């Protein structure tokens, strides 16, 4: 199984999702730390939108990834004495206990419309576009396009946060914001990190921002990603 291209591709895709979840959680922790010690007056505003975005995105990613891991183990993934099924049960509590996706998405709307919390997010995305340009023009262009898309979407939220279309689309918007933020954070890491971060950023952008099939490249880069 370890040498099977399909199995390796599946693990590679999971590694990309895990990398994105890791930087989202880490960024939320870092902002919280700066807020608690009063080190950054702008951190509180950014944390207001990053916290619900990180919770809803990582909770959903945890469930999806855990389910794939259980399936990858086959029958052993379902047998209790392996301990593997518990991973899925433990993951499932995250998008419930930490706030359901819908509840957190509505909180994002409140943060954007009442507290202008979208501003710090858009500024981080714009800065990441500049950081991405030397790494990959394709990555930078993708992130720039999504930043423009979100700028327009958040303007609509601010203009009329109670509009039926705005409220009904809150989940999709929040997930899109979280995906863009994860991409920006991976780019920030890649700007000073190693090839692993750059590959993860590029594959995440293709998978979650452009909705492409990355299986072939996920297989090719599995050893680097893990």
Annotated active-site residue in 36, 71, 98, 212: 98
For 6-52, give the DSSP string. HHHHHHHHHHHHHHHHHHHHHHHHHHHHHHHTT--TTHHHHHHHHHH
- DSSP character at residue 75: G
Give catalytic status of residue 165 as yes or no.
Answer: no
CA pair distance 124, 139, nearest whole angstrom: 15
Residue 117 DSSP code: T
Residue pair 120/34 in contact (Cβ under 8 Å)? The answer is no
User: By three-state DSSP, how is residue 194 classified?
Assistant: coil
Report the alpha-carbon distance of residue 77 to residue 85 in Å, rounded.
Answer: 6
Catalytic residue positions? 98
């Amino acid at each position: 199984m370890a040498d099977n291209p399909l199995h390796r591709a599946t693990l590679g895709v999971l590694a990309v999702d895990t990398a994105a979840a890791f930087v989202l959680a880490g960024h939320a922790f870092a902002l919280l730390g700066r807020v608690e010690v009063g080190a950054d007056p702008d951190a509180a505003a950014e944390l207001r939108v990053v916290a619900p975005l990180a919770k809803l995105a990582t909770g959903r990613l945890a469930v999806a990834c855990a389910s794939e891991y259980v399936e990858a183990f086959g029958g052993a993934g379902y047998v209790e004495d392996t301990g593997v099924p518990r991973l899925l049960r433990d993951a499932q509590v995250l998008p419930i206990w930490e706030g359901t996706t819908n509840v957190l998405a509505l909180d994002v709307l409140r943060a954007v419309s009442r507290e202008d919390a979208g501003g710090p997010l858009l500024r981080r995305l714009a800065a990441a576009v500049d950081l991405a340009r030397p790494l990959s023009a394709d990555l930078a262009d993708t992130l720039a396009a999504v930043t423009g898309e979100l700028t327009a979407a958040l303007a609509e939220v601010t203009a009329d946060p109670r509009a039926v279309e705005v409220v009904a689309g809150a989940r999709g918007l929040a997930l899109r914001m979280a995906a863009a933020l994860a991409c920006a954070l991976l780019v920030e890491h890649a700007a000073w990190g190693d090839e692993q971060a750059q590959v993860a950023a590029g594959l995440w952008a293709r998978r979650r921002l452009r909705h492409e099939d990355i299986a072939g490249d996920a297989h090719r880069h599995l050893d680097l990603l893990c």
